[in-house]
Structure 1
């Protein structure tokens, strides 16, 4: 009888100790999660997570949190080791598999980001519904260089239209600021198919929770000067990016307006995505129709684009974009225009 009592007491003590450990580990997980998500004190959260794992090494939620913390503190190999420990016991664990894949993708993106040079070629024909109207052919070649201050791009455009053809020369830059960057562009052409001068500036700033804003001005000159004033608001959430941009262009006592809504869904990397674009009016940022911007300025237009970009062979991207444009060419008369753009970029 005495031995049975002792055995029961020992069993109770072991059970109470295990329950106490469980309570301690849950409390440590709660504190570590608070330090991660609310306080964003990652070093303190790592200490708490390690303390919890010292008590309960097989507590998967804690190990997942520790792996996340290693990723947040730029320690990908330590994060990978934590995910692998989970996979040793549960080879099909969804979160752990996704974590390893995320690390692999980030490493690939980092390798790509370290490549400083980009060479891009784009071919963009435009077809018209009207019988006998010759297609336009736009070919662009650009070279970009990444530097600490930002990126700088040189571009040559060749456009063949029904009545003439010619070249346009562009210089573009994206200087970086604190939590922001600028966009600058200057273009020159002595060909009748392009504006003679074109200049652009935008200031783009990032805000908390994935928001971004843009303010900009565009200038074009051919036979007269045109100024366009624009703004945009964008939002990143999960794998999506959505951006709404508007421009107003005063001309001959009237104000022309254009609106463009762009959305993207990203896959494995920032270079892998599908995009959908819908817009009205003619935008000064529309390269395809910029050659006769002043002619289209006050005409009604509706456009819809669908595109896909894919990273291939580690350092190359290929992109396609199809556009339908319903364009007014004289008051009350409209025609359909169809674009198909394909581009190839090589990084080195």
Structure 2
């Protein structure tokens, strides 16, 4: 932090090295020393005074390009992108061989959210510096920002052919491939072991997802083996984007097995809120011998690398409504696909706990239950493959023996692969 004494000292130096004719505002003095002092001022929260000094030097030395380039950079740092562009343009018109000025000028256009201008500048710079890796990297950034990720990937691949050890380009290529991988296939396998009464339950999931401009679509085949029976369910999930900060969840599924509802469907709206909060409200409907409707809602909160959420479910019925709730916590690492999770909940939701017998649904949803699970999720091969392992335990009331409980110990493994 610069003290008042230090500030006065700098200004005193500037007074001695710069003498000004106020009538003509023409610099007289040592430009190198004045430039040095102006730089110190710029980096010590005296940006405006530094810019005034740099402009003053340029009245006498208009082609002192290091000074003009530094002035342009200070404008860019302050968000005065048009001023910066004007100064960069002045330099490049007379000295197009200044690589650092081209780089700074292109970055200025990217920061000002003018990717097409940045792309034009990049192409012009490459005429003077063919195959320069830093210019090619900025060109790819401009192509990416102008929503042309395929061209950006080609540019990065061109860069890496001649500069295979360029670390930033290598990382950027992985990110671009991840963005361009709109398709996903996945497999999940889990087993639930009961402390008594039932044989182990097995569950398998095969899924295919597609990311579109309107949102994502996920097709799923669920297969369960329990109660000495095997059954399948076919589902489609959709997440359409409506407007910025608002999207929906839509679901429809069918089955011909008593292990699953004959038909299931649901809808939910999700809304982003201030302070990194998100809320949702919706319903799920499950048709066995009768239709069970579950009303659901959630509140989520992002804070740093952590995410908290609470989901509540209410299922009306006789002799009363069934209520359940689950609290989730995630600790993210490098991105949204790499995290550790903890979840704890109470009460049965028939959406997540399918232990129905034909004609006994209303009795089941009022049962008491508690659950706890841990999960760890990570990616490999430049985010192409996603892996997950989850272990949990549930304490659940027995449907045909109210007041008695059994334990369910579960383990699940999952794998997803992105591809173009």
Which range is displaced more, 292-301 or 263-272?
A: 292-301
Return the alpha-carbon distance in structure 2 between the equivalents of residues 142 and 125 of structure 1: 18
Q: Which one has the largest radius of gyration?
A: 2
Gaps of 5+ in 2: 1-11, 19-32, 49-75, 89-106, 119-133, 142-165
Return the alpha-carbon distance in structure 2 between the equivalents of residues 12 and 261 of structure 1: 65
Instruction: Describe the SS at the equivalent of 2:316.
Output: strand
Query: When you count strand as a share of all residues, which structure comes out higher?
Result: 1
Task: Render the CA deviation track for 1:190-218: whole Å, top value 9, x for unaligned.
Answer: 11111111111110111233211101111
1:322 aligns with 2:341: no
Return the alpha-carbon distance in structure 2 between the equivalents of residues 72 and 263 of structure 1: 37
- The residue that corresponds to 2:354 in the other structure is 290
Return the alpha-carbon distance in structure 2 between the equivalents of residues 72 and 284 of structure 1: 51
Gaps of 5+ in 1: 1-8, 30-41, 55-66, 82-99
RMSD of equivalent CA atoms: 3.7
Aligned residues: 295
In the TM superposition, residue 12 of structure 1 has moved relative to its aligned partner by 7.5
1:28 aligns with 2:44: no
1:262 aligns with 2:328: yes
Return the alpha-carbon distance in structure 2 between the equivalents of residues 284 and 70 of structure 1: 50
In the TM superposition, residue 11 of structure 1 has moved relative to its aligned partner by 9.5
2:81–2:112 Cα contact (<8 Å) kept:
no
Quickly say closer, same or farther: Cα 1:257–1:217, change in 2 above 3 A: same
Superposition pairs of residues 265-276 of structure 1, within 5 angstroms: 265-276=331-342
In the TM superposition, residue 225 of structure 1 has moved relative to its aligned partner by 1.3
Quickly say closer, same or farther: Cα 1:150–1:12, change in 2 above 3 A: closer
- The residue that corresponds to 1:114 in the other structure is 180
- The residue that corresponds to 2:103 in the other structure is none
Highest relative contact order (Cα 8 Å, sep 6+), 1 or 2? 1
Return the alpha-carbon distance in structure 1 between the equivalents of residues 172 and 368 of structure 2: 44
Given candidates 209, 215, 220, the residue that maps to 1:155 is 220
Given candidates 45, 48, 52, the residue that maps to 2:79 is 45
With normalisation by structure 1, the TM-score equals 0.73
Instruction: Describe the SS at the equivalent of 2:312.
Output: strand
Return the alpha-carbon distance in structure 1 between the equivalents of residues 79 and 191 of structure 2: 55
1:105–1:268 Cα contact (<8 Å) kept:
no
- The residue that corresponds to 1:146 in the other structure is 211
- The residue that corresponds to 2:199 in the other structure is 134
Quickly say closer, same or farther: Cα 1:72–1:117, change in 2 above 3 A: farther
2:355–2:364 Cα contact (<8 Å) kept:
no
Return the alpha-carbon distance in structure 2 between the equivalents of residues 101 and 304 of structure 1: 42
2:269–2:282 Cα contact (<8 Å) kept:
yes
Return the alpha-carbon distance in structure 1 between the equivalents of residues 410 and 83 of structure 2: 55
Given candidates 254, 267, 283, the residue that maps to 1:201 is 267
With normalisation by structure 2, the TM-score equals 0.61
- The residue that corresponds to 1:299 in the other structure is 367
Instruction: Describe the SS at the equivalent of 1:339.
Output: strand
- The residue that corresponds to 1:60 in the other structure is none
1:28–1:49 Cα contact (<8 Å) kept:
no
Return the alpha-carbon distance in structure 1 between the equivalents of residues 13 and 236 of structure 2: 80
Superposition pairs of residues 34-183 of structure 1, within 5 angstroms: 45=79, 47=81, 108-130=174-196, 133-178=198-243, 179-183=245-249
In the TM superposition, residue 70 of structure 1 has moved relative to its aligned partner by 6.2
In the TM superposition, residue 47 of structure 1 has moved relative to its aligned partner by 4.2
Given candidates 255, 264, 280, the residue that maps to 1:214 is 280
Superposition pairs of residues 223-262 of structure 1, within 5 angstroms: 223-262=289-328
